[in-house]
Amino acid sequence: MTLDKLLDEFYLTNGIPQDGGIEDDTFQMKVFFVILTLPNPVFRKELTHIHDIQHVLNDCDTSWRGEGFISGWEVGTEFWKRFPINIFILWAFGYSLWLHPAAVHGGFKKGLNSVGVVDLGISKEDFMNMELDRLVELTTSPRRTEMGAWQWAQFLWWCLVSQVILLFPIAILIAGISWLINL
């Protein structure tokens, strides 16, 4: 089955607007027990189909377990190099570490042995006409990397960086409240 049909099924199953909501000015995300409505910037619109294809490729839903796996996978495939989307990736990585650390770690390990979808340099149109089996073939890395000392150091580094990104707004809020109290 082609990716466009698989993505349509993915969107329907997960309650996501058609085409991943790329035409919308905002998107929603549930954090803790709050649904945040955030702006949908151009850079996110341009890469949403790739993120969603990764969900299909890795058979992950949009729960925080699924998002944790995908964010780990994206970091493992070095998708994080693409600014400014890397802020979203590392934020999801950090948040998911608190909820589903095994999923994040599993995604990272799989990502070390995968070619990132974004690194294939394939147009959206060509992706949509591609069969899933072909995508699996293209993203399977010929090299095999085990979780050795260097990979563990990388994973722990990204855990630390992701926590800084996750907690930065809270630190700013606390600093602001402290400053107001001391006026």
**Mean pLDDT across 66-90:** 90
Domains identified in the chain, total number = 1
Angle at 11 between CA 106 and CA 38, to 5 degrees: 80
Angle at 162 between CA 62 and CA 55, to 5 degrees: 20
Range of the domain at 54: 3-181
Q: Quote the mean pLDDT of the chain.
A: 90
**Mean pLDDT across 155-161:** 97
CA distance 65 to 60: 8
**Mean pLDDT across 136-159:** 94
Q: What is the pLDDT of residues 165-175, one digit of tens each?
A: 999 877 888 88
Answer whether residue 87 shows pLDDT above 90. Answer: no
CA distance 147 to 170: 32
Collapsing DSSP to helix, strand or coil, 33 comes out as: coil
Q: How many helices (H) and strands (E) does the chain have?
A: 8, 2
Q: How many residues does the chain have?
A: 183
CA distance 114 to 69: 13
Question: How confident is residue 86, by pLDDT bands cut at 50, 70 and 90?
Answer: confident
Q: What is the pTM of this model?
A: 0.87
Burial annotation 29-43 (CB, 10 A radius, 16+ → b, else e): eeeeeeeeeeebeee
Burial annotation 60-75 (CB, 10 A radius, 16+ → b, else e): bebebbbbbbbbbbbb
CB 3 within 8 A of CB 127: yes
Answer whether residue 40 shows pLDDT above 90. Answer: no
Collapsing DSSP to helix, strand or coil, 26 comes out as: strand
So what's the pLDDT on residue 3? 94
Dihedral over Cα of 154, 50, 91, 87: its sign: positive
| Token pair in block for residue 176 | 């602001």
So what's the pLDDT on residue 83? 81
